[in-house]
Amino acid sequence: MKKQECLFCKFKDNLNHEHIVQDELVFAILDQNPVSPGHALVIPNRHVQSLFDLTQDEILAVHNMLKKIKVTTIEPRFKPAAYNLGLNDGRAAGRTIDHCHFHLIPRYEGDVDNPRGGIRHIIPGKGNY
């Protein structure tokens, strides 16, 4: 996918889209198709597909942005009980937009019958151990 066609590159430049916060290396937005209330994305400004293509500075910026939006935006506004963090790094992993992005998914008491196993449930039968 070319940078000009990238949905996240367009979001970065679209003042009408709800940005949570942006710095020189990454930005955060609320997911347009949230898994739960407060589901946010942290996205590198630079058009790059994989976590493994990020620089050390970008990785640190992602980490800092995840912490920042958790404390300043998600907790006060949505009051979750816990979080899942996710990255679909490649099409076989479920990535649909070819621009590296990290999901911060708030979790709430009772949102599923049994949360044990968490992200292990992406492959049926692997979450129950």
CB-CB neighbours of 42 under 10 Å: 25
Structural tokens at position 111: 């949102």
Gap between the Cα atoms of 58 and 104, Å rounded: 17
β-pairing verdict for 40-44 and 26-30:
antiparallel
Q: How far is CA 39 from the centre of its chain?
A: 7
Of 39, 99, 101, 103, the active-site residue reads 101
Burial (Cβ within 10 Å: 0-12, 13-18, ≥19) of residue 28 = buried
Q: Is 101 a catalytic residue?
A: yes
Active site residues: 101
